[in-house]
Chains A and B, each alone.
Chain A
Amino acid sequence: MSNVIRFQFRKGPEVQFLSHLDVVRTMERAVRRAGLPMAYSEGFTPRPIMSYSYALSVGLLSEAEYGDFALTEELDPEEFVKIYNQHLPKGFEVLRAQRLPDHAPTLQAQINAASWRVSLPKVSADAIKERWQWLQEVDSFVVRRETKKGSRDVDVRHFLFSVGAIVQSPTGVVFDCLAGLGNEANLRMEELGQLLCFAHLEATITRMGQFKKVGNLYVPPLEDRG
């Protein structure tokens, strides 16, 4: 086993509007406060050796963010969870951790899909259901995607894999969906809004899981222990 600890953490409403860089900075500072035996990079400006799964956009919540920390010594994962949680600011919580085997693939190599929970006010379940039915019939849905290099057309239809039960609540509608994440089939939340015809800025969106999609199997980057 290596001295790399992989952990899953929550990003709650208190820290919902932090950018990915803000999160990384916060994690680093909490590491220092906790006095964790972090491994630092070589060179002129040593940085703690840590890596994360794909960035979560500003404004989204998550139950399943992942991080890998390289430590200089063996640390019991349970102990890690306990100590680190004491030093993380409100809104962050480490849910579980495991030591990684030697030469384990990086987080980003082990993730290409995410599950999302979307909660929408002022929208009826039927509207979403109808839209999803229609989407399943079409083979292509092209959106204009703005990137740093300019904008281009992207067919995002098949980046949305599936939509689960669509539940009507007194305040709106809640549903889960599975979509592509990462460098290849990435679906942005504003594009999910376009696909299913809702205003994504009014939605509360939570990343519920991140996976490696292998056929119809979704494997999380941490082993499930029930």
Chain B
Amino acid sequence: MDKRLVPLLPLVTKPARYTNHELNAQHKNWSEVAVKVALAFPDIYDVGMGHLGFKILYALINGRHDALAERVYAPWVDMQELMEEHGIPLTALESGSTLTKFDLVGFTLQHELSFTNILKMLDLAGIRRRSTERDEMLPLIMAGGPAAFNAEPVADFLDFVVLGEGEEVMHEILDVVKDGKAQGLTKDQLLTKLSRLEGIYVPKWYKPIYGVDGRFEALESQVPNAATQIQKRVVRDFNRLPYPEEFVVPYVEVVHDRVMGEIMRGCTRGCRFCQAGMIYRPVREREPQVLKEQIARLVESTGYEEISLSSLSSGDYGQIGPLVRDLIVHYQDCGISVSLPSLRLDSFGIELAQEIQKARKTGLTFAPEAGTQRLRNVINKNVSDDDLKDVVQSAFAAGWSRIKLYFMIGLPTETEEDLEGIVELAHKVLEWGKEFRSARRRPEVSISVASFVPKPHTPFQWMAQESMEILRSKQRFLQDRLRHPAIHFSYPRVEESFLEAVFARGDRRLAAVLERAVDLGCQFDSWTDSFRFDLWEQAFGDAGIDPQDYAGRTRDIGEALPWTHLSAGIDYDFLQREWELAQKGVPTPDCRWDECSRCGVCPSLRVANAIVKEKNVE
């Protein structure tokens, strides 16, 4: 860490966020390494340390003899103020070097509400925000992650963007930068070489064209040979990918503070609202034997007390039952527990959850997403009322007393009936729980209702988000009907969902809004206490941008969209077909077990779903 921070440590909350020296942190010799990368997470340490993607990249880069990676997090506001007061720039944890000493600074774009933190971190590091304002000196500012699939709102701040999975392309980037530095290439020469790699987008070589009506019309390339479409990177052989043998073990409590085994990538359930389900295709499962070895190495190197299996929908992993049972048996004697964070709603899931949570049976979470079968067909969430009844009853029977249900409001075609459906379901759950009531146990249900945010690269990418007024009235409608001592009702604020919707489908004009918002003091927007919608409204006003035009307007199917050059391999005909089927309420089956839905990913990326076969399980 930067020694200048030491006198400030007693003055801030959770000072150990800034002190480094964690177990397995890599301190490499700067003079022996050609390429230096700062992995910059646009949120505080406590959040960023849980990010699996950065753990993978940290191990991968530090595994090379010619490169090093260090970690950078956004300091919390108290530390920022002290740093600014004392003129101390943002530095990387391991060496305490300022970000300007690195060759590459890589931000992860996990969600839209972290964009302001990227600008704030550049400000704190003393790096000019816009790529065109920066001089010939490195670092190059790069970004990847799910929100990179519409990086346009932050495109002006980035030298290049990486689409898709990083394991292979990261090596290629390091090689190019290493050679480029040795040859003394200019930044633009370096970017030219980088742009020849598949999956890399150099925003400044493209200029958006807006029509007289102010609508986005096209992206015009500014240099010869610039690709018209950037295809995401995808790893074909998931089993042979290197996986970290060590995780940095933090001292302070952080999210996902445990051994994580990545059992699977991608999901083909095809929920029409879900961006992750579209951009991470195809499905690739990791062989149980490979997983067990990876987990064993991490248990040994970290000493963690918990193992979690990570994927978009762990219950869909073909051999999940045998795998979980094996892990429980293998680790139970050393006090190590197993958890499955993303379990699907079915009775098999309950059985598994029961084995895992032999202990505290406090709460079990399901996501029916919509209150009626009709609306669930619209969003392609393949769950019936009978499924729900089955699963809730078996959960109560197995000893759980609180069921948590996730819903969304503002979904396409939603009517009052669908809202009533949520209310009915809440009461039905209590009804189903009645027979399990005892003096010590009182069944309860928590209902959490988020406002739907249409995302790019999904079948709902064309539709308007419902207005904040209507969403608020829907929240009130539910609140009035969910007053019951055994029902807990919660909902995030609509303003956050609104802002997310603006930036999710934003274009480059929003860069000015972001800059203004940061200047006004917006940051940590995903932290409810820090979120300042009044300042955001001012920022939109000052920049002369109407946010409604981004969030609240239905696009024509033929309209040019600002993100179509950033491809996840999904065919737009497929999205359009799905949008039409959604409006008719016709579900589409999962291509893993049913016919191909012709989403286009396999042919365009030359990949296929890879499911583990039963014989491979011991």
- Complex Cα–Cα for A23 and B178 (A): 41
Could you tell me if A40 and B335 are in contact, using CB atoms closer than 8 angstroms? yes
Chain A residues 54-85 with CB under 8 Å of chain B are 58-59
Report if B519 contacts A (CB, 8 A). Answer: no
Of the candidate stretches B18-26, B263-271, B314-322, B482-490, the one touching chain A is B18-26
The stretch that binds B, out of A25-33, A143-151, A209-217, is A25-33
User: Which chain A residues border B126 with CB–CB below 8 Å?
Assistant: none
Report the bound CA distance from A139 to B337 in whole Å: 55
Annotate B296-309 by CB proximity to A: 1 below 8 A, 0 otherwise: 00011111110000
Known: A28-B303, A29-B249, A32-B305. A18 touches B335 (CB 8 A): no
Asked whether A31 and B16 contact (CB < 8 A) given A15-B21, A89-B23, A90-B21, the answer is no
Q: Are B251 and A45 in contact (CB under 8 A)?
A: no
Complex Cα distance A197/B492, Å? 48
Asked if B19 and A48 sit within 8 Å, CB to CB, the answer is no
- Count class of interface residues, chain B: 20 to 34
| A58 x B303 contact (CB < 8 A) | no
| Known pairs A14-B21, A17-B15, A201-B10; A45 contacts B360 (CB<8 A) | yes
Contact of B303 with A17 in the complex, beta carbons under 8 Å = no
Which residues of A are found within 8 Å of B300, using beta-carbon distances? 33
Q: Given A18-B251, A22-B251, A45-B359 in contact, is the A91-B21 Cβ separation under 8 Å? A: yes
Is A47 at the interface (CB under 8 A from chain B)?
yes
CB distance from B314 to the nearest CB of A (A): 21
Q: Find the B residue at minimum CB distance from A89.
A: B23
Residues of chain B within 8 A (CB-CB) of A44 are 358-360
Hey, what's the 0/1 contact readout for A180-194 against B, CB within 8 Å counting as 1? 000000000000000
Question: B15 to A46, Cβ gap below 8 A?
Answer: no
Q: Which of A17, A48, A89, A201 has the most B CB atoms < 10 Å from its CB?
A: A17
B334 within 8 A of A: yes
Q: Report if A201-B21 is in contact (Cβ < 8 Å); known contacts: A18-B16, A18-B251.
A: no
* Pick from A28, A30, A48, A58: contact of B15, CB under 8 Å: A58
Q: Say if the beta carbon of B9 comes within 8 Å of chain A.
A: yes
Dominant secondary structure of chain A at its interface with chain B: mixed
Q: Which of A19, A48, A59 contacts B10 (CB 8 A)?
A: A59
A91 to B251, CA, bound (A): 12
State the Cβ distance, A108 to closest chain B Cβ, in Å: 23
Closest partner residue, chain B, to A26 (CB atom)? B251
A25 and B359 CA atoms in complex are apart in Å by 20
Minimum distance in angstroms from A201 CB to a CB of chain B: 4
Cα A145 to Cα B483 with chains together (Å): 41
Once the chains bind, are B301 and A33 in contact (CB under 8 Å)? yes
Q: Is B170 an interface residue (CB 8 A)?
A: no
Partner of A59, one of B9, B22, B358: B9
Chain B residues, CB < 8 A from A29: 23, 249, 302-305
User: A89 and B10 in contact (CB under 8 A), knowing A22-B16, A32-B303, A58-B15?
Assistant: no
B252: CB under 8 A from chain A? yes
> Is B557 interfacial (CB-CB < 8 Å)?
no
A62 to B360, CA, bound (A): 36
Cβ contact within 8 Å between A45 and B337: yes
B11 at the interface (CB under 8 A from A): yes
Within 8 A of A (CB), among B98-116: none
Interface residues of A in 79-138 (CB under 8 A from B): 87, 89-91
* B residues less than 8 Å from A90 (CB atoms): 21
In the complex, A91 Cα to B21 Cα: how many Å? 8
Taking a contact as CB atoms under 8 Å apart, the answer to whether B251 and A15 are in contact is yes
Can you give 8 contacting A-B residue pairs, CB < 8 Å? A16-B9, A18-B251, A25-B251, A26-B251, A40-B335, A43-B359, A59-B15, A89-B249
Question: Ordered nearest first, which 5 A-B pairs have the shortest CB separation?
Answer: A44-B359, A29-B303, A32-B303, A33-B303, A17-B15
Q: Chain B: residues with CB nearer than 8 A to chain A? A: 9-11, 15-16, 19, 21-23, 249, 251-253, 299-305, 334-337, 358-360
